[in-house]
Amino acid sequence: MATGSAIATLVLRLLALVLLAASIAIFATDKFTIDGQKATFRDIQAYKYVMAAALLVFIYTLIEIPFAIYHVLKEKRLINHGCVPHFESCADQIMAYILATAVGAGFGTTFEYKKVLKDFIEGLENLGFEGVEEAKSKGEKFLDRGNIATGVLFVAFICVAVQAVISSISRNNSATNSGRKGYWFG
């Protein structure tokens, strides 16, 4: 029977993969058009960073899933070298940090742009411009979808962060059980 940490690793990686894919899909389809002007996530620098971070962690997770499946099914690692748990631990932590910064950037940007949009629309209304409600509505929907995508990414971050803790514990256990005292090859 596979260990609890191996099963948890697989479940968390699969869940993170699904959440990352959902976040990427929401960002990719988030767009609006006003008077022939089209806006997408590519028009906001922070959203491009959020998308790039989500894609990077998605690819990493996709690569790691076969190893996790093998570990659960065979009850041993596919590559049975002492540095593999250390590599996974470090890589999981780096991916968690990348997602954490992306989530902060996504939420912060959405919050600030919503404030700017509200003030801009109010300014146009005070100047007597009419028909700005459509722009306000479409702009808010665009930013709300960015917020939803970032929220989904936040849940993926939690999965990856918990995975980083599990891989760190597994790394420490494998080093203790193998009699190694050094970090990489000790």
pLDDT over 60 at 1, yes or no:
no
pTM, whole model, 2 decimals? 0.84
What are the helix and strand counts (H, E) for the chain?
A: 4, 2
Nearest to 54 by CA among 157, 146, 135: 157
Q: 61 with 13: CB under 8 angstroms?
A: yes
Query: Tens digit of pLDDT for each residue in 101-141?
Result: 999 999 999 999 999 888 888 888 888 888 788 888 888 89
Query: Tens digit of pLDDT for each residue in 7-37?
Result: 888 999 999 999 999 999 999 998 888 778 8
Residues 56-68, mean pLDDT to the nearest whole number: 93
The pLDDT value given to residue 6: 81
Question: H or E segment at 38?
Answer: strand 37-40
DSSP 3-state of 31: strand
- Count other C-beta atoms under 10 Å from residue 175's C-beta: 18
